[in-house]
């Protein structure tokens, strides 16, 4: 039987950068995924938004580190991941949203986030095509950005392999060997592999893998729809997020990718629980009306493709990261909700420090927030 220091289940937004960081730390790493290549789960459904402007210290710190990694990747490793430092903007057309966004600033600013409130006229200088009617203003965080989820994963995959990590695709993990209260390896439909540490990075499918070691992990797949237009000349810089709830949707967001297409997504309300990834005929009319309302210029752009993918949701909207109390050596990195791509690189480095028992004080603080054994009583404000 082949033996490794660490086995990661899932070559997705989180498992792949984690393999990169573990291999960089000199650990013998195996990644197993039942799909044909890296990033074929929820990762490829992501639209590529990358931000550190969250509402809690753990996600802010992890994503600040991720943004450092994304923004310097090309200079350091040579791969073009289509990173753009284009910023994020949250619009306010009503006093309710103005208050929510301004209240959040009080939490975000002490963490060193570069984010500010802009009144209407200054906001329109950043996004000239916004509908000015009724616009109060919004927040703008210029250091956030976007990249291609597929190119990001391909880059991490290539460099993880270069550093010695092994990947096995088209292989389904069917069991965890945890004899005597400690992890010893995994069983798949094709063989058995030994390791002292097994990481569950199985995204929306994490719950059955946690059950294999007797853990109840509250991660539920939640279906979200997205779309992409034809490419047009650049006219829009930041991601535009509108958090006004209306019937059928909680919020929606869109940006112009480096290659010219507008990419967009909606948060359905109520949630669409389950693994149904068939596109719907409701999505496009609903989101298009909302988008054209805030940016009339979008009225004539042609939509090329829609798709649906899964958010791995947790009850409080925060990821679940931590060691199982039992069996020893079983590590959960699951429940990324709508932010797995942006969390991945920062989390990968944190996981490498956990496995090497080399945690800083700030790591411990983040792990307390993300603990699998927390009460799940809070609620993330910017899910």
Ligand X SMILES: Cc1cc2nc3c(=O)[nH]c(=O)nc-3n(C[C@H](O)[C@H](O)[C@H](O)COP(=O)(O)OP(=O)(O)OC[C@H]3O[C@@H](n4cnc5c(N)ncnc54)[C@H](O)[C@@H]3O)c2cc1C
Least distance (Å) from ligand X to the CB of residue 206?
7
Q: Toward ligand X, which CB reaches closer, 91 or 342?
A: 342
**Residue 172 interacts with ligand X (CB under 6 A): yes or no:** yes
**Residue 138 interacts with ligand X (CB under 6 A): yes or no:** no
Q: Toward ligand X, which CB reaches closer, 327 or 338?
A: 338
Residue 178, C-beta contacts closer than 8 angstroms, at least 6 positions apart:
184, 213, 327, 330
Least distance (Å) from ligand X to the CB of residue 213?
13
Of 187-216, binders to ligand X (CB under 6 A) are 201-205, 209
Q: Toward ligand X, which CB reaches closer, 138 or 312?
A: 312
**Residue 47 interacts with ligand X (CB under 6 A): yes or no:** yes
Q: Toward ligand X, which CB reaches closer, 117 or 264?
A: 264
Q: Toward ligand X, which CB reaches closer, 135 or 204?
A: 204
Least distance (Å) from ligand X to the CB of residue 70?
11
What are the structure tokens assigned to 6, written together?
């660490």
Of 256-275, binders to ligand X (CB under 6 A) are 265
**Residue 8 interacts with ligand X (CB under 6 A): yes or no:** no
Least distance (Å) from ligand X to the CB of residue 83?
13
Interface segment toward ligand X; rule CB under 6 A; list 21-29, 175-183, 240-248, 336-344: 336-344
Least distance (Å) from ligand X to the CB of residue 186?
9
Least distance (Å) from ligand X to the CB of residue 24?
18
**Residue 338 interacts with ligand X (CB under 6 A): yes or no:** yes
- Binding footprint of ligand X on the chain (CB under 6 A): 9-15, 32-35, 40-43, 45-49, 172-173, 201-205, 209, 224, 226, 265, 309-312, 336, 338-342
């Amino acid at each position: 039987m082949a033996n490794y220091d660490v086995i990661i289940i899932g070559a997705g937004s989180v498992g792949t950068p984690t393999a990169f960081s573990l291999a960089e730390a000199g650990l013998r790493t195996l990644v197993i995924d039942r799909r044909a290549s890296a990033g074929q789960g929820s990762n490829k459904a992501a639209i590529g938004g990358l931000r550190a402007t969250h509402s809690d210290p753990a996600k802010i710190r992890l994503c600040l580190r991720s943004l450092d990694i994304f923004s310097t990747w090309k200079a350091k490793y040579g791969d073009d991941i289509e990173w753009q430092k284009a910023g994020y903007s949250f619009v306010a057309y009503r006093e309710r949203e103005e208050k929510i966004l301004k209240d959040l600033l009080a939490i975000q600013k002490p963490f060193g986030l570069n984010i500010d409130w802009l009144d209407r006229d200054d906001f329109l200088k950043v996004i000239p095509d916004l509908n000015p009617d009724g616009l109060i203003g919004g927040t703008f965080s210029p250091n956030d950005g976007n990249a291609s989820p597929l190119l990001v994963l391909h880059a991490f995959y290539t460099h993880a392999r270069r550093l010695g990590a092994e990947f096995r695709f088209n292989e389904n993990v069917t069991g965890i060997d945890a004899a005597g209260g400690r992890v010893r390896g995994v069983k798949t439909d094709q063989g058995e592999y030994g390791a002292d540490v097994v990481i569950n990075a199985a995204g929306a499918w994490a719950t059955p893998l946690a059950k294999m070691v007797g853990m109840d992990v509250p991660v539920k797949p939640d279906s979200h729809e997205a779309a992409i237009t034809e490419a047009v000349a650049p006219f829009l810089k930041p991601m535009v997020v509108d958090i006004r709830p209306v019937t059928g949707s909680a919020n929606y967001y869109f940006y112009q990718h480096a290659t010219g297409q507008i990419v967009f997504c909606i948060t359905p309300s109520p949630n669409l629980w389950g693994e149904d990834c068939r596109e719907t005929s409701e999505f496009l009319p609903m989101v298009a009306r909302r988008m054209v309302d805030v940016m009339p210029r979008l009225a004539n752009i042609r939509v090329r493709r829609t798709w649906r993918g899964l958010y791995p949701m947790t009850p409080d909207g925060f990821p679940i990261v931590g060691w199982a109390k039992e069996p020893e050596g079983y590590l959960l990195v699951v429940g990324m909700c709508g932010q797995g791509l942006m969390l991945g690189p920062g989390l990968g480095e944190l996981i490498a420090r956990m496995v090497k028992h080399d945690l800083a004080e700030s790591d411990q603080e983040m792990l307390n927030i993300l603990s699998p054994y927390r009460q799940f009583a809070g609620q993330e404000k910017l899910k």
